[in-house]
Amino acid sequence: MISPQSAQTGAALRVVGPSFVEGSAEEMTPESLLQRVSGGDQPAFAALYERFSPRVFGLANRILRDPSQAEEVAQEIFLEIWQRASRFDRTRGTATSWIMTITHGRSVDRVRHSQASRARDLKSTVENFDREVDTVAESVVQHSDASEVRGCLETLTPLQRESITLAYFGGHTQREVGEMLGTALPTIKTRMRDGLIRLRDCMGVPA
């Protein structure tokens, strides 16, 4: 479970001792345990943790589909329960629904954060990739004549040759090239990059 020290520092969950509370922990309702937790009762929190940790982890894992992330989120959830137990209002619902609502919210937030992070990484990768392709293409055009380009184009694969011809000599975007050739955009980008590099090497253009 979470000790007051770990709650303050954000440390990982740890059991601080046996879950003993006045009376039998098994007989106490979650609402009663939360009430004790709101007063800083560590044994009550240990009992609450033991009772709910499988359900909290289970829901988090179903949403995240990643056990390691689900474990991290479960730690965050119990830290939040320890810190915010006094905000529980039994007139607005049960302790179980309160805890599982926190679990759902935290898990969904983690999914959104992960998706946003992956989207940023993908955007950066695509932007860097596109800049690389455009730089190679510019160097090829600046250091070549028409006959040399035609000769080196013949050394490319059909898809590389068609893609580059349509894009850099036909004025089409990469997306338009993909649609015209019935090929996925990522494949077009990869073939164009590889083809432009081969063109550059064929014509002796500095990298």
Residues in the chain: 207
The reported pLDDT for the residue numbered 24 is 56
Whether 14 is in a domain gets the answer yes
Decide: helix, strand or coil at residue 128.
Answer: helix
Instruction: State both tokens at 74.
Output: 């479960």
Task: Kindly report the CATH number assigned to the domain that includes residue 172.
Answer: 1.10.10.10
Per residue in 184-194, pLDDT (tens digit) is 988 988 888 88
Whether 132 is in a domain gets the answer no
Task: Kindly report the CATH number assigned to the domain that includes residue 102.
Answer: 1.10.1740.10
Per residue in 17-50, pLDDT (tens digit) is 444 444 555 568 999 999 999 999 999 999 999 9
> pLDDT class for 133, splitting at 50, 70, 90?
low
Whether 82 is in a domain gets the answer yes
Instruction: State both tokens at 182.
Output: 């019935």
Give CA–CA dist 107/97, Å, rounded.
Answer: 15
Mark whether 22 and 74 lie in a shared domain. Answer: yes
Above pLDDT 90, what percent of the chain?
27
> CA 67 → CA 62, 89, 107, distances in Å?
9, 31, 12
H runs (alpha helix) in 65-144 = 67-84, 95-142
Average pLDDT over all residues of the chain: 75
Full-model pTM? 0.48
The reported pLDDT for the residue numbered 123 is 47
How many folded domains does the chain comprise?
Answer: 2
Q: Is the pLDDT of residue 75 over 90?
A: yes
Query: What letter would DSSP give residue 203?
Result: T
CB half-sphere exposure, 91, CA atoms < 13 A: 0
Q: Is the pLDDT of residue 12 over 60?
A: no
Whole domain around residue 168: which residue ranges?
143-202
Number of H helices and E strands in the chain, helices first, is 9, 0
> CA 81 → CA 3, 110, 120, distances in Å?
12, 17, 31
The reported pLDDT for the residue numbered 25 is 55
Q: Which residue has the higher pLDDT, 9 or 90?
A: 90
Whether 127 is in a domain gets the answer no
Mark whether 105 and 185 lie in a shared domain. Answer: no
Average pLDDT over residues 155-180: 81
- Tokens 């007139």 correspond to 91
Q: Is the pLDDT of residue 86 over 70?
A: yes
Average pLDDT over residues 128-153: 57
Q: Is the pLDDT of residue 74 over 90?
A: yes
